[in-house]
Amino acid sequence: MSAARSLAWRRFRRHPFALPSFVLLVVLALAALGAPLVEAAFGIDANKVDLLARFTTPSAEAWLGRDELGRDIFVRLLYGGQVSLLVGIVTALVACVIGTCIGLLAGYRGGWIDAALMRFTDSIIALPLLPLLIVMAALDLTKLGVPEAIAQSDRISLYHIIFIVALAGWTTSARLVRGTTLSLRERDFVAAARAQGASSARIMFVHILPNLISPILVATTLSAGKIILMESVLSFLGLGIQPPTSSWGNMLTNAQQLIHSAPELAVYPGLLIFVTVIAFNFVGDGLQEALDPKA
């Protein structure tokens, strides 16, 4: 096992952009998590409005300057990174779990269960994704039975985005897992487990699932970048993360009216979104090459 891990690590390092992208993502995540420490160290309040300091240029007190309300841009970018990265990673994991369960069940059981689950998956894939997410994001939660106190809370938009994107984003994992499971269920180790009286649940989760870790890991990494982009689009349209909670997407929304007078307000979050999505894609490509059994 250690030899296989060493070989995978060497393959991952051989990818020209995978390791630098992974390091970049780690640095971004640590910087975002350290936002409260930066606030405390420099005596900054990310949400404090100071109209007398509007559009202040970068200085020792505000490294990237201040926005249209006099708020520190650098610290707000850090807090926005917390939200955007959290949405991307958590949603990708939730979607991965849903897709893995559906694909594993469909691939192992076959027959009408496979047909029903795959036709359901195809129907989700056939729906136009962005209009679907816009409609789901615009739903009034109070009319769906959510208590008004919860529906009006600051963080509800964050959980709402994670929920709706995960509901629409599990299809890729499901089809990938189903295809691999169809091959694995015919292997000798599955036949041996079945001959020893192992239940279907044990065969799926103890014998087949560990062999699916590589494709699942690659699919999850690749989908994280796409989900961050989805969250940014919804927030840019005003249907995603709602103020005062900041994300890179809603920072772009606030900057669109000031693109001519203060373009840096759009450049900073836009650049971070671009770099993060590209980095996730490079890491996914590197993992795909590193974990490919045919390599």
Domain segments of the chain as ranges: 2-51+62-290
Question: With contact defined as beta carbons under 8 Å apart, do 250 and 79 qualify?
Answer: no
Give pairs for 153-159: CB < 8 Å, separation 24+: 154/242, 154/244, 154/245, 155/245, 157/240, 157/241, 157/242, 157/245, 158/83, 158/86, 158/87, 158/241, 158/245
In CATH terms, the superfamily for domain 2-51+62-290 is MetI-like (1.10.3720.10)
The values of phi and psi at residue 136, to 5°, are -65, -35
- Mean local confidence (pLDDT), 45-69: 82
The values of phi and psi at residue 236, to 5°, are -65, -35
Residue 295 has pLDDT above 70, yes or no: no
Average pLDDT across the chain, whole number: 85
- Mean local confidence (pLDDT), 170-181: 90
Residue 257 has pLDDT above 70, yes or no: yes
Residue 3 has pLDDT above 80, yes or no: no
> pTM for the whole thing?
0.86
The values of phi and psi at residue 66, to 5°, are -125, 155
CA distance 245 to 254: 13
CA distance 24 to 213: 24
Residue 193 has pLDDT above 70, yes or no: yes
- Mean local confidence (pLDDT), 70-88: 89
Q: What is the pLDDT of residue 212?
A: 87
Tokens for 267, please give them.
Answer: 């450049």
Q: Which residue has the higher pLDDT, 182 or 147?
A: 182
Residue 173 has pLDDT above 70, yes or no: yes
Q: What is the pLDDT of residue 154?
A: 67
Residue 293 has pLDDT above 70, yes or no: no
User: Measured between alpha carbons, how far apart are the two ends of the chain, in Å?
Assistant: 17
Residue 294 has pLDDT above 60, yes or no: no
